Amino acid sequence: AQTVTQSQPEMSVQEAETVTLSCTYDTSESDYYLFWYKQPPSRQMILVIRQEAYKQQNATENRFSVNFQKAAKSFSLKISDSQLGDAAMYFCAYRSAMNFNKFYFGSGTKLNVKP
Amino acid sequence: GAVVSQHPSWVICKSGTSVKIECRSLDFQATTMFWYRQFPKQSLMLMATSNEGSKATYEQGVEKDKFLINHASLTLSTLTVTSAHPEDSSFYICSADRGGSGELFFGEGSRLTVL
């Protein structure tokens, strides 16, 4: 079974600074997708960034980038130039490419942004 | 965009009654819809997945007779909590797969309170 682990329940960052959120996962599959989703207080899940396992290049979306280490099964999210609006719960997620019905989330990291 | 609408956003019911939550993909046809349950300050727990016209696939430990899922069309899935009890109180989130990108698009969530 696939599991997703986020070891940081809560983190804080100063506005305009950079923060990295950690995520590790366990799988025996070679092809899969990884995601970071943001859940603000409104509770609506918003996709931040996605990575296909077969791609070696790390995904980047504006201020958000990932460090994908397939051999280490690690998928960290770096937020640069943090903004107050980045404050939210961040969830790492795994989706099997073999069984598309398997889409699992980590336990989440609460990110606080200090002005 | 890819918009998923969930209704109602908040429902309060008496113990023993049944409650139906609707999930609609507004601007795309969803190949698969996912239902999650989220307890306060916790992660999303996958309950079941549904495909149009097929029986839902439930995760281990989820009572299929308690949580009835119907996927009537490519744009509508419903979750019915039958004979609800206070322990069923939770935040229920649906998501839809548009196909191709691997990501899921999420509804706004429904908060169920059973008195």
**CB A26: neighbour CB atoms within 10 A?**
11
Chain A contacts of B32, Cβ < 8 Å?
A: 100-101
CA distance linking residue A58 with residue A65, whole number of Å: 7
Nearest chain A CA: its distance from B54 CA (Å): 13
Residues A38/A105, Cβ–Cβ less than 8 Å:
no
**CB B38: neighbour CB atoms within 10 A?**
20
Nearest chain B CA: its distance from A66 CA (Å): 16
Residues A88/A42, Cβ–Cβ less than 8 Å:
no
Q: What is the pLDDT of residues B85-98, one digit of tens each?
A: 999 999 999 999 98
Chain A contacts of B42, Cβ < 8 Å?
A: 107-108
Q: What is the pLDDT of residues A24-61, one digit of tens each?
A: 999 999 999 999 999 998 888 999 999 999 998 999 99
Confidence at residue B42, expressed as pLDDT on a 0 to 100 scale: 86
What is the Cβ-side half-sphere exposure of residue B43, based on CA atoms within 13 angstroms? Answer: 21
Residue in the block written with tokens 């992660």: B43
With cut-offs at 50, 70 and 90, classify the pLDDT of residue A1: low
CA distance linking residue A49 with residue A65, whole number of Å: 8
Q: What is the pLDDT of residues B47-87, one digit of tens each?
A: 999 988 888 999 999 999 999 999 888 999 999 999 999 99
Across the interface, whether the CB atoms of A50 and B101 are under 8 A apart is answered yes
Across the interface, whether the CB atoms of A105 and B109 are under 8 A apart is answered no
Number of Cβ pairs < 8 A linking chain A and chain B: 50
